[in-house]
Structure 1
Amino acid sequence: MVAGSITKEVAVAVSAEQLWNAAFAKSDESTLCKALAGMIDAVKVDGDGGPGSRLSLKFNPAVSPATVLKGRLAARDNTARVISWDEVAVEGGQIAPAQFKKQVVQMKVEPASAGRCVTKVAVDYERLDGAPLSPADQAKLINGYIGLVKKAEENIIARPGVFA
């Protein structure tokens, strides 16, 4: 049972191909560290980076109230540019992580105008008490994931040669 579902689209000032290749096409430590440089201090991947692999992102305390984001890569479709994680857990942050029974995150990167794209972020969650999050907490939760996309965008623009 899903207590709530949050979706949000974010415009990104790089092409869908650039964003996908930089942040989502592979789940290895080197690629993720480059894409999220300045936001995360460490990445750990248990597995081959494909579905079933477990990822752990340690956030830089100067830029995020969350300390660690963990999840299991559920699926990746490089053709459709869709990726999803289940068994997602956030330690620290603005919303008490202990209140969640389940959290599933999906991102879809779609081309927009030349050199731009739109990323659609969806979070399905179930709280231990079964109640939905308040609108303010929903915004905090989805904006945390949007922050990852915007950091990747920032890094691609700042260092295009790294992601070519």
Structure 2
Amino acid sequence: MVAGNIIEEVASAVSAEQLWKAVFATCDESALRKGLAGWVDTVKVEGDGGPGSRYTLKFNPATGLKSRLAARDNTARVICWDEVALEGGEVAPAQFKKQVVQMKVEPASAGRCVTKVAVDYERLDGAPLSPADQAKLIKGYVGLVKKVEENIVARPGVFA
């Protein structure tokens, strides 16, 4: 099997602390609903939001994401999900044997941050993803970060 890795850095116009606290610090249903408002239709968390908790996000009836929280380090602002399974979307989900997503939120210039998104994957057919499919796959995770940033900027009082 071929293992692939996609890495993208996402610049945000909010502080690392704001972005982290908005959703990643607890990863509970309420935080995810607020942070992803306007992007996700439903959120379901099975567990306490800590490692081992299972997440189901529905973006519309045809697309969704299921995952398990593998690790979270609130001090280093790093979060990792494994057992990631896509439903629908632009990249055929049935082709993946394994997918792991890690996000690290780092301070940048005053009041800004950068989120390093890494997706490690293994395909069933042993072939690497095409560059176009890699771009489509990472786009969804980048979109998650950008949506949280957008919601913080639009409604800062909700995330205070």
TM-score w.r.t. the length of structure 2 is 0.97
How many residues of Structure 1 are paired with residues of Structure 2 in the alignment?
160
Q: CA RMSD in A?
A: 1.1
The letter of the residue matching 2:126 is G
Question: What SS class does the counterpart of residue 40 from structure 1 fall into?
Answer: coil
Aligned to 1:68, which of 42, 64, 70? 64
Deviations 1:62-121 (A, max 9, x none): xxxx61111000000000000000000110000100000000000000000011000000
Structure 1 residue 23 displacement after superposition: 1.8
Q: 2:78 aligns with which of 61, 69, 82?
A: 82
* Amino acid aligned to 2:28: D
1:21 aligns with 2:21: yes
1:16-55 equivalences under 5 Å are 16-55=16-55
- Structure 1 runs (4+) deviating above 2 angstroms are none
TM-score, scaled relative to structure 1: 0.95
Structure 1 gap segments, 5+ residues each: none
One-letter amino acid of the structure 2 residue matched with residue 10 of structure 1: V
Percent identity of the aligned residues?
A: 83
Corresponding residue for 1:59?
59
Q: Work out the CA distance in 2 between the residues paired with 1:111 and 1:20.
A: 11
Change (3 A) 1:83 1:2: farther
Q: Is the 8 A contact 2:6 2:138 kept in 1?
A: yes
Q: Which residue of 2 aligns with 1:102?
A: 98
> Take 2:64 and 2:2, find their aligned partners in 1: how far apart are those partners?
23
Of 148, 152, 156 in structure 2, the residue corresponding to residue 152 of structure 1 is 148
